[in-house]
Amino acid sequence: MENENQEVQDLQEITPQNDESIKIANDVVASIAGVAVSEVPGVYGMAGGFAGGISEVLSGKKSLSKGIKVDVTEKETKIDVNIIVEYGTRIPDVAFEIQKRVKKAVETMTGLKVVNVNIHIQGINIPENRKESAEQQEQI
């Protein structure tokens, strides 16, 4: 019973002109944002935290909403994105591109107004050959 109540709370209602309604789950908005983020050059991956990593291992598949937190109200949404960037990319450019693409994708597909897209850089992916050359420099 609690599970059903949680699902109902996670669904957000969009009311068209007549008495009918459309409900969009928070996970749907997060998945749309996740796809938009994954298409941005310079993004190495999403930072989902410990719980997200365990569920990914147990299920055997990657979640499109990993690293994304969505706060949806009646007509608008706020989105937090946690990412790992590629070494050598300009972080502000990557962040601005993510904000632009996520906002466009979510607003186009759901009709919700995106008021905030907050980007949290959780790490940088350094290629293995760069790590090895840095280690060699330290030994000299």
What integer pLDDT is reported at residue 75 of this predicted model?
86
- What the block records as the tokens of 94 is 């990557």
Amino acid at 50: F
Query: How far from each other are the two terminal CA atoms of the chain, in whole angstroms?
Result: 65
Contact call for residues 63 and 56 (beta carbons, < 8 A)? yes
**CA angle in degrees (0–180, nearest 5) for 13-35-116:** 55
Contact call for residues 46 and 83 (beta carbons, < 8 A)? yes
How far apart, in whole angstroms, are the C-alpha atoms of residue 58 and residue 50? 13
Per-residue pLDDT of the chain (140 residues; tens, 9 = 90+): 455 445 445 555 555 566 677 778 899 999 999 999 999 999 999 987 544 444 444 444 457 788 999 999 888 999 999 999 999 999 999 999 999 999 999 999 999 999 999 999 999 999 887 666 666 666 66
- pTM check: above 0.85: no
Domains in the chain, please, with CATH?
A: 2-139 (3.30.70.1350)
What integer pLDDT is reported at residue 22 of this predicted model?
77
Q: Who's near 112: CB < 8 A, 6+ residues apart? A: 12, 14, 24, 29, 72, 75, 76, 77, 106
> How many other CB atoms are there within 10 angstroms of residue 33's CB atom?
28
**How far does Cα 15 stand from its chain's mean position?**
26
